[in-house]
Amino acid sequence: MAASLLAGAGLVLTVDAPALAADAEGGDRFDCRELAEREAPETALDWFERSLWASHCYVFQARAVRIGYDGIRTLALSHHIEDGIEREMASFLDGPPLVFERRGRIGRLSWAEPGSEVPASPSGIAAHLDGLYRLQLGGEERIASRRTVRLDIDPLDSFRFGHRLWLDTTTALPLKQVLLDEAGRVVETFQFTELDRPRLHEGHVVLDQYREAPSDPWDIGWLPEGFVPQPVDTRSSRHADTVDHRLYSDGLSTLSLFVEPIDGADELLAPGMHRLGVSHAAVRHRELGGQPRQVVVMGELPPRVLLRVADTLEWRAEEAAASAEIQGGAVAEEGP
């Protein structure tokens, strides 16, 4: 989905919290009708912020094409809002018959400590990107029979990829996105070919609740500047309970971290670098917490960044000691 692609997995944060109010359950919400009253964007940052709000607030159906290392795929897309909850669907129209669905609220940028507040709105994502990317307006083009303005987003370091966005001048919906690697080469192109009568939602979209961070037994020694842990539930029926999964993002780029004991793992990957479509996965087998573990770091980032994250993950001393004590007790019980 275009919204998911541009919103960095739905991450948002608020600076001045425009038009936010409490919903019936005491949470925050954004009234989409405010977008119709705002003045047209002028700067690159204004356009980017408007595109994030538009991706949450417009109801539409569309056709799109995705061009990547694995070839060309066509998709049918839809975005709806029911009782303030967004529902996105993407169905591949060729190749294997895959359908993806996402239901949820506008997310927040980070976990919340007890008693603290973590604001949420696309305004905050734009502020968070300052110092990480350079945003500039390009020329106008016609895409999906609609007039668009191009937005160039270039990283200020070599630790993340660049983006080119083409935004509908009427709605600010992103109609095309190009992902560029650290050498400026096109990695992936995602483009609408048809947009069917987009309609601004006449109501509100609910923001996610505050979430407290889980207690992880590890620390990551290095992350690219601006990457913060994401407050999302990563539990999945596809992974065993022994698999820990965390997400980190700077608002545009996202990486996933998986950690699991090698003994009893459902699937072991060969250490090194693997390509997964437009993403890479760095795999390490390391002695952590007193036992061998598989560490996998994946994302649409330079491979050396993923490897460095995997190599700097360390078990906390107190957690490692507790693990060793437990293992020692198990060995004693099995002895003569």
* Mean pLDDT of successive 10-residue stretches along the chain, which has 336 residues: 32 32 58 94 94 95 93 95 95 92 80 59 78 94 97 96 97 97 94 96 88 85 92 60 87 93 82 91 95 95 97 83 52 49
Max CA separation in the chain (angstroms) = 79
User: Residue 8 falls within a domain, yes or no?
Assistant: no
Which of 157, 181, 206 is at the close of a domain?
Answer: 206
Is the same domain home to 184 and 245?
no
Q: What is the rounded distance in angstroms from the CA atom of residue 272 to the CA atom of residue 265?
A: 18
Partners of 87 in the β-ladder: 80, 103
Q: How far apart are CA 66 and CA 74, in angstroms?
A: 6
According to DSSP, residue 55 is labeled: H
What single DSSP character describes residue 219?
E
Residue 202 shares a structural domain with residue 235: no
Write down the pLDDT at residue 233: 65
Q: Report how far residue 190's alpha carbon sits from residue 4's, in angstroms, rounded to the nearest whole number.
A: 12
Q: C-alpha angle with apex 130: 300 to 109, nearest 5 degrees?
A: 65
* Angstrom distance (rounded) from CA 242 to CA 265: 8
Q: Examine the domain organization and report whether 225 and 96 are in the same domain.
A: no
**Does 335 map to a domain?**
no
The answer to whether residues 171 and 35 belong to one domain is yes
Do 94 and 239 belong together in one domain? no
pLDDT at 331: 45
Q: Report the 10 Å Cβ neighbour count for 128.
A: 23
Residue 51 lies in a domain: yes
- What pLDDT was estimated at residue 81? 96
CB 299 within 8 A of CB 253: yes
CA dist 81 and 198 (Å) reads 13
Question: Domain check: are 222 and 197 in the same one?
Answer: no
HSE (side-chain half, CA atoms, 13 Å) at 100: 10
Domain count, the chain: 2
H-type helices in the chain, by residue range?
2-6, 44-57, 122-129, 303-312, 317-334
CATH of the domain at 52: 2.50.20.10
Given 151, 176, 206, the domain boundary residue is 206
Strands (E), 223-315: 228-229, 244-249, 254-261, 272-276, 279-288, 291-299, 313-315
Q: H/E element holding 91?
A: strand 85-92
Clarify whether residues 173 and 46 are in a common domain: yes
Same domain, 153 and 226: no
- Structure-token pair, residue 149: 């303005």
Range of the domain at 292: 218-315
Q: Computed over its alpha carbons, how large is the radius of gyration of the chain?
A: 21
Residue 334 in domain: no
